[in-house]
C-alpha cells in the first residue's frame, strides 16, 4: 500500500489515517467530536490528541452536544480537573459554547449533519493532490463555513480549524491520490450518495 506519509509517523496517527481520516461522517456526535479535536490542534498535536482521546470522551460526555452544553463550567474549569489537563480555559469554554450552538443548529436544520454537509451539496470535495506540500491549510470553502459558524456564535473555528475538520470528517477527501485510502474514502462517499438517491 502507498500512504500519505512515511511510516516514521506515530502509530496511533497511522491507525487514525487508515480507519477514520477522510471517511465521510454523518453522525452528529462524531462530527462534533471531530470539530472539538480539530480545535485542540491549536494546543496539541494529532498523536497527543489521539493518545488522550478516551479522556476527551470521558470529559465531554462522548461528545453528545446536548450533554456538553449542560456541563457545569465551574466544575470542568476547577484547578486540577481532568478537563484542565487537556486544554486551556479558553478552549474548554469554547467546547461548551460550541455544543450549545450545535444544539441550536440541530433545532433549525434537523441535524448538524444536514447543516454542515449543505455547504458542499452533500458531496465531498475531491482534493486530488499528489504531494503533501500541495495540501492547503485553508480554502475559500473553509472560510465560508468558518464565517457562518462564527456568526452563529461558535468560538475557535477559524478557517484553518474548519479545514482540518473538513479533512477529518470527509467533507473534503484530501488523501493523496497515490494513497490507498483515497479510493476507499471515495467509494464510501459514493455509497452514501446512492443511499440518498434511493
Annotated binding-site members for Zn(2+): 17, 175, 179
CB contact at 8 A, 146 and 165: no
C-alpha to C-alpha distances, 124 to 19, 24, 35, 79, nearest whole angstrom: 17, 8, 17, 42
Spatial distance between the Cα atoms of 96 and 65, rounded to a whole number of angstroms: 8
Spatial distance between the Cα atoms of 68 and 130, rounded to a whole number of angstroms: 39
Spatial distance between the Cα atoms of 41 and 14, rounded to a whole number of angstroms: 17
CB contact at 8 A, 94 and 155: yes
Burial track 45-83 (b if 16+ CB lie within 10 A, e otherwise): ebebbbebeeebeebbbebbbeebbebeeeebeeeeeeb
Instruction: Give binding residues as ranges.
Output: 17, 175, 179
Amino acid at each position: 500500500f502507498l500512504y500519505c506519509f512515511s511510516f516514521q509517523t506515530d502509530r496511533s496517527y497511522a491507525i487514525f489515517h487508515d480507519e477514520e481520516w477522510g471517511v465521510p461522517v454523518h453522525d452528529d456526535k462524531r462530527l462534533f467530536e471531530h470539530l472539538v479535536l480539530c480545535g485542540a490542534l491549536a494546543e496539541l498535536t494529532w498523536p497527543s490528541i489521539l493518545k488522550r482521546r478516551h479522556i476527551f470522551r470521558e470529559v465531554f460526555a462522548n461528545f453528545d452536544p446536548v450533554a456538553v452544553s449542560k456541563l457545569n463550567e465551574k466544575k470542568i474549569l476547577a484547578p486540577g480537573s481532568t478537563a484542565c489537563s487537556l486544554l486551556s480555559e479558553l478552549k474548554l469554554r469554547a467546547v461548551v459554547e460550541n455544543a450549545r450552538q450545535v444544539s441550536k443548529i440541530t433545532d433549525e436544520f434537523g441535524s448538524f449533519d444536514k447543516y454542515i454537509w449543505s455547504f458542499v451539496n452533500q458531496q465531498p470535495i475531491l482534493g486530488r493532490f499528489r504531494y503533501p506540500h500541495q495540501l492547503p491549510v485553508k480554502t475559500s470553502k473553509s472560510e465560508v463555513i468558518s464565517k457562518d459558524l462564527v456568526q452563529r456564535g461558535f468560538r475557535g473555528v477559524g478557517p484553518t480549524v474548519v479545514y482540518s475538520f473538513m479533512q477529518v470528517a470527509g467533507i473534503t477527501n484530501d488523501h493523496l491520490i497515490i494513497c490507498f485510502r483515497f479510493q476507499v474514502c471515495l467509494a464510501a462517499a459514493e455509497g452514501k450518495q446512492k443511499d440518498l438517491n434511493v
